Structure 1
Amino acid sequence: MDWCTWKYGSVWKDPMNYQNVSIIVVDDARLSCEVIRRALASTNYQDVRIANSAETALKMLHERPADVVLADWMMPEITGLELTDHIRQLDEENDHYTYILLLTAKDDIDSLEEAFSHGVDDFINKSPESKELLARVYAAGRIAHLQNTLLQTASHLTTINHKLEQQNSFDIHTGLGNRCYLEKQLENILKHTLARGGGASCAVVKIADFGKIADEYGEAAQEEITIGISKRLRQNIRPLDTMGMLDSGEFGIVMHQPDPSNCHAVSFKRIFQAINLRTFKTKAGNIPISAAVCISSVESAKNKRSATEIMDVMQKEIPNAFEYGNIYEVTELED
């Protein structure tokens, strides 16, 4: 009996096709790898690769991507966190999403926060019970499938945008809408929430000294970074959130918020870290950048500003994000 049958019974039809879920197990302890492999095999996972080092796992990923990677945190030469950094770079280059599940005995808050900041998705005890392991892997496979479907859809939409050559509304290189497009989306959210309640959250992400990148590394590198930023932002916002380019090196995000009070710095920490913590790989080399994020919530019932006025305020306030804090909350829109 597989995990889903055990959990839900025969009346629930399992949508997961185990044959299509690609898994890599990474651990320098061969016994641990074998225990996990047998547990996965018992639930009919067929595409399971075993790597006894992070280097071997990376070679496997270069040859063929995986949906789920189960890796030991503490490994010689390359740790689980360092492996995560490499995988996230590969994901970015290949428009792919890999769900990373770390095997660890650590459970303190500092360690978990460090792991999440590197892009780890979940944790499980180093010696997990079979049912818990299979449940976590099952959820990981579903999430990876959903994320990769969304990435493929986004790529398809970008291709369509290029073909339509809607240069007045979309950037031809990134496929992102411009400020006019973002304002229309924000307007739609405000109309929707005025009738149904809730509000909108807005964010502006600005790259420091973006023009100097072209001066130092060339315009091609600047364009590669623009595309790289758009990819990272897409991977770190919700599927129904809208992202666009406000200006060179400046991006905007608008999202529906059932509860506007949920718009605070912690909510946008992952977006901030996605841009700042890893360098961008270009043909001119790996280039580090610094970005600041300006955020605010707009409660439709109290809002008296148009979408254009809201975006004007957000762009005007972004310098404060560099001066007072890398994630700056705008309070002017709450007046």
Structure 2
Amino acid sequence: MMNTTANKDAITAQTLRALIIDDTRLSQHVIQQQLLEGGYEHIRCIESPKEIRHHIETFAPNIILLDWMMPGVNGLSITRMIRAQDKIKQTHTYVFMITGKDDQESMMQAFQEGVDDFIPKSAVSTQLIPRMLRAQKMLSQFYFQRQHINALTLQVAQQKRLMTLDPVSKLPTHRGFQMAFNKAVDSASARNHGLSCMLVQISNYQDLKNRLPTPPLHRVIQHFTERLLKLYRPSDFVARTGVDEFAILMQHGKDQITSLDRVERALDNFALKTKDGYHIIEINTANAHLQTETFADEWNETQLRQYLRRSAQDAIPLSNRLRLTWPHEDPIGRTQHMED
């Protein structure tokens, strides 16, 4: 028996669920008695293969002990159905084929169809329990590996999330902004809309960093983020693209131009109150407008993209500051890190 302290998903005789499928009650009784004597507690017996789907859903057996030949169906077709269910649920059900057949050809056929073990009925009394112990060990290893893979998958997902989400402001990072920029360009192209890209820089960030320990500095960034978000629509995209930078994407009608005046009035030289006291915030702003009013109706998508790209690059150094790359090109990642 495996050491359950090493693997909380280890299968034991007390936790294992066994389903016996055989059309003869005598065979069911013989197999069930062997399992009971071996210490197995959770056992179900069914005669009709038509009931198997119901019992798989309600009983969730770890092991199925299956007769080969039954009226109207054979064990191999049931095994194929079990394997299909396993694939969907990303699990593994251990299948024993218990039959009167004991020739090599039958055994090979059973294994090719996905059967895990093959026991002649004449050997049930001597071989079933040792084989069950081996099945327990293999299932425990499978569940342990699945648990490990799930943990790694979750860890990778968390790492990816950290790469696109700033832990201080809870806003997307530069990588997330690049992805949003690509989508926004596609959307603006399709809808004949304008696109504004704004950059807000905390110009006295270095001074704040020199004066404040890390926790108070983080609180300043968090309060600044809250104030910044109140100035924009839910449909606008706001990201923290650097330790001292925030970028905003806004789509608008082709005849509209979004102004930075309200941002400057609301954020520049204001005293930000936190539990650590008041802190003066100074900002610089930049703005790039990609207007669709100059788009020619006969332009194709490639020409439109080229125009948008030139507009973004020519409209002040904003696109260079953000190091934007055009959709479908390799993105250029920033080397600057957020605060530790």
| TM over 0.5, shorter chain | no
| Category of TM-score, reference length = shorter chain | 0.3 to 0.5
Q: TM-score, normalised by structure 1?
A: 0.43
Q: Which protein shows a greater Rg?
A: 2
Q: TM-score, normalised by structure 2?
A: 0.42
